[in-house]
Amino acid sequence: MKRIIRKIFNSRTSNEGGNFFIKVSKIIGYKPLNISYFKEAFTHRSLNIKDDKGNVISYERLEFLGDAMLSSIIAEYLFNKVPHGNEGYLTKMRSKIVSREHLNELGKDLDLFDLLESKMSKVNFGENIHGNVFEALVGAIFLDKGYQACEHFIYDSVIGPYVDIERLEGKVISYKSLLIEWCQKEKKTFKYLVYDDTGNDETKHFAVKLRIEDRVIAKARATSKKKAEEKASKRAFFALQHKIEGNND
């Protein structure tokens, strides 16, 4: 059975006339030299396809590689583009460009999810699958044609159409971090409190209150504690925006 699955994987639209090959070529801007890298980039582990050594084939390892390549190329771009930027500034700007939210948008814009092969129903995937597959695609390009091709793709698909230094300077990537930084600067006590969620949703939700000093500034609920805290922080930021940006007490 495993041999049959591997055969299907190895032959799946691998020739130049195949639909998969054509779609990938259009996305990356050149004809792949080794289409198997790109098949792996769009293979979910639920298919349980394994190589000759019994290792599961999926996009996850390529995602790791692509993340490193993306970070490296963006770092070099910022280093050259913003000569006045110190280490902290460059790190913050890179984080904004390669944020999970931004990578998810890139994956959606390229319709990468449509190419994903999986036994899971696609409605069961979260938002991050779009960014994960985008990173896997970057990793596949690096293995297929090297650093320059990878750099060219990132400049064409990320830097050129999306990176605006002035706009990114004003972009908040974590309202929670911003609120904590402000509270510490102003010597204000703060606490995120999880409380009972009385919602009737099928999916479990977490409810969070953000208390600053003795006052509850914002409440929020989401499918994870982290998301709920970030949502509450965003609401608190806009409630206190005049104080935070004006640096008033």
Looking at the annotation, which residues are catalytic?
67, 135
The SS3 of residue 206 is strand
CB 230 within 8 A of CB 173: no
Structure tokens at 83: 């000569």
In this structure, what DSSP letter does residue 208 have?
A: E
Residue with tokens 């019994």: 54
Burial (CB count <10 Å: 0-12, 13-18, 19+), residue 31:
exposed
Distance CA 38, CA 58 (A): 10
Identify residue 135 by its one-letter amino acid code.
E
Instruction: Measure the CA angle with vertex 225, ends 219 and 230; round to 5°.
Output: 55
153-188 as b/e, with b when 16 or more CB fall inside 10 Å? bbeebbbeeebeeeebeeeebebbebbeebbeeeee
